[in-house]
Amino acid sequence: MIDRRALLAALPLVAAPGLARADADWPARLVAAAKAQVGRTVLYDPAYVRLPYPGGDVPIDRGVCTDVVIRAYRAALGIDLQKLVHEDMRRAFAAYPKTWGLPRPDSNIDHRRVPNLETFLTRRGAARPVAAPWQAGDLVTQRLPGNLPHIVIVTGGRSALGQPLVAHNIGAGTRVEPIPVFARNTGRFRFGPDQA
């Protein structure tokens, strides 16, 4: 006769290696979720929109660079950056940039701003040295000419010229293309399920 308590006690030991393997492939799932937005998100639209909370999103046909990241994390890993950033800003509003002059967090827009994502990811211990080589699933932040913030997801692929391929929306919808070389790389982050 099987001792049910002994069997149930052993299950976590059996399940844990499978879970570890599933977590190990999170970068590939994140990249696939970013690539799945190509052809669906076709517009660059930075408009302020009132969003449901949590889980709010602008229409899939539009967005900005941060929306690529937000959607990929939700679709691939079930991680809601809108909720995580908003909760962290409520706890530590003074730690976040004051660029927009807001007196308090705003769950409609805060997670859609690159400097806020940089702050959140740094506070979560996800910052890595900016220098390459980068890995699939890395997030790289940049400053475009005019000091405009930008964020990309590293796909792990390379162009014919050897440049890292990234998923991003820099003005024409979500695309996979070489990382913008005219921009200054300002941050690199690796944010997996164990940090959410």
Q: State pLDDT tens for residues 166-178.
A: 999 999 999 999 9
Indicate whether 72 belongs to any domain: yes
Average pLDDT taken over every residue of the chain = 91
Position 63 pLDDT exceeds 50: yes
- Backbone dihedral angles phi then psi of residue 127, each to the nearest 5 degrees: -70, 140
Residue 182 lies in domain: 26-195
Indicate whether 81 belongs to any domain: yes
Average pLDDT, integer, range 119-133 = 95
Indicate whether 5 belongs to any domain: no
Encode 116-143: b = buried (16+ Cβ within 10 Å), e = exposed.
bbbbbbeeeebebeeeeebebbbbbbbe
| Confidence (pLDDT) at 21 | 46
Closest by CA to 88, choosing from 124, 125, 115, 48, is 124
Indicate whether 83 belongs to any domain: yes
Confidence of residue 181 (pLDDT cuts 50, 70, 90): very high
Tokens of 60: 């899939």
Indicate whether 15 belongs to any domain: no
Tokens of 186: 């300002």
Tokens of 78: 């079930």
Give the CATH number, domain containing residue 91: 3.90.1720.10
Q: Is the pTM of this model over 0.85?
A: yes
Q: How many domains does the chain have?
A: 1
Indicate whether 6 belongs to any domain: no
Position 40 pLDDT exceeds 60: yes
| Confidence (pLDDT) at 18 | 42
Parallel/antiparallel/unpaired status of strands 127-128 and 43-44: unpaired
| Confidence (pLDDT) at 132 | 74
Indicate whether 11 belongs to any domain: no
